[in-house]
């Protein structure tokens, strides 16, 4: 006897909402440092400032925005471009775990529906 013959409601469809939220988080972990660095370079160039490309720069380059020097802050934010050396491998591992979890949950859901 199937579920339809005994009057039970059909099962709810497989919900992907939490998986999309987690995938969005993984993408932000992977590419967030690129965005931070791009914003820092954009703010500096919009205000006519030059950011040093060296990691260890011994003197601060002034960058006046509204009468306040933000050169050190912008330089620190521009160094976020180095973070993908850590975040991209982490995001890859998280993506593989996300994909395996999705596959297992989907298979269990289909088996429960078929039973």
Residue-wise pLDDT for 32-73, tens only, equals 999 999 999 999 999 998 887 776 665 667 888 889 888 888
The pTM of this model reads: 0.72
What is the domain partition of the chain in residue ranges? 17-114
DSSP string, the chain: --TTTTTPPPPPPPP-HHHHHHHHHHHHHHHHHHHHHHHHHHHHHHTT------SS-SSPPP-EETTEE-HHHHHHHHGGGGTHHHHHHHHHHHHHHHHHHHHHHHHHHHHHHH-
pLDDT of res. 102: 94
Q: What is the mean pLDDT of the chain?
A: 86
């Amino acid at each position: 006897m199937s579920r339809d013959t005994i009057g039970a409601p059909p099962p709810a469809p497989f919900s992907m909402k939490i998986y999309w939220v987690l995938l969005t988080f993984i993408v932000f972990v992977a590419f967030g440092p690129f965005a931070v660095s791009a914003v820092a370079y954009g703010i500096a160039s919009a205000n006519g400032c030059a950011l040093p490309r060296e990691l260890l720069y011994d003197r601060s380059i002034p960058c006046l925005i509204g009468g306040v020097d933000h050169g050190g802050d912008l330089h620190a934010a521009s160094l976020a471009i180095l973070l993908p050396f850590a975040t991209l491998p982490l995001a890859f591992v998280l993506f593989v775990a996300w994909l395996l979890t999705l596959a297992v949950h989907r298979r269990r859901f289909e088996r429960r529906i078929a039973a």
